[in-house]
Structure 1
Amino acid sequence: MSHHKKYLLEKVLAPLEDEIEFFFSNFIGASYPSIYRKELCWKPPTDVYETETDYVIILELAQVKNEEVSITFRDGILTIRGVRQTIPPSERRHYLKMEISYGPFERKIAISGDVDMDQLSAQYKDGFLEIRLPKKKTNSFNIEIE
Structure 2
Amino acid sequence: MKLTKKRNGPNTIDTLRREMDHFFDDLVPFSWSREQNEKALGTWAPSADITENEKRYEIMMDIPGMDKNDIKVNIQDDRVTITGERKTEEKEENDDFIRQERYYGSFFRSFKLPEKVKDDDIKATFKDGVLKVVIPKAEVIKPKSIKVS
TM-score, with length taken from structure 1: 0.71
1:64 to 41, 56, 66: 66
The CA distance in 1 between the partners of 2:128 and 2:45, in whole Å, is 19
SS of 2:54 mapped into structure 1? coil
Q: Which amino acid aligns with 1:68?
A: D
Name structure 1 gaps, 5 residues minimum. Answer: 1-20
Equivalents in 2 of 1:23, 1:74: separation in Å?
33
Provide the residue aligned with 2:95 in structure 1.
92
Shift of 1:53: 0.7
* Counterparts of 1:68 and 1:136, CA distance in 2: 29
Show the counterpart of 2:36: 36
For 2:23 and 2:112, how far apart are their aligned partners in 1?
19
CA distance in 1, matches of 2:87, 2:44: 13
Unaligned runs of 5+ in 2: 1-20
Alpha-carbon separation, structure 2, partners of 1:87 and 1:66: 17
Higher helix share: 1
Contact 1:34 1:42 in 2 (8 A): no
Q: What amino acid does structure 1 have at the position aligned with 2:76?
A: R
Change in 2 beyond 3 A, CA 1:94/1:32: closer
Mark the CA change 1:31 to 1:123 in structure 2 (over 3 Å): closer, same or farther: closer
- The number of residues matched between the two structures is 126
In the alignment, is the contact (CA less than 8 A) between 2:82 and 2:108 conserved in 1?
Answer: yes
Confirm whether residue 114 of structure 1 aligns to residue 116 of structure 2: yes
Is the Cα contact below 8 Å between 2:31 and 2:47 reproduced in 1?
no
Distance in structure 2 (CA, Å) of the matches to 1:22 and 1:54: 30
Cα distance, 1:142–1:134 mapped onto 2, change above 3 Å: same
- Structure with the greater alpha carbon radius of gyration: 2
CA RMSD, Structure 1 to Structure 2 (Å): 3.0
What TM-score does the superposition give when structure 2 sets the normalisation length? 0.70
- Percent identical pairs in the alignment equals 24
Deviations 1:84-125 (A, max 9, x none): 1111224513334x3321111111111111101111100001
Q: Find the counterpart in structure 2 of residue 49 from structure 1.
A: 51
- Quick one: distance in 1 between partners of 2:77 and 2:106? 23
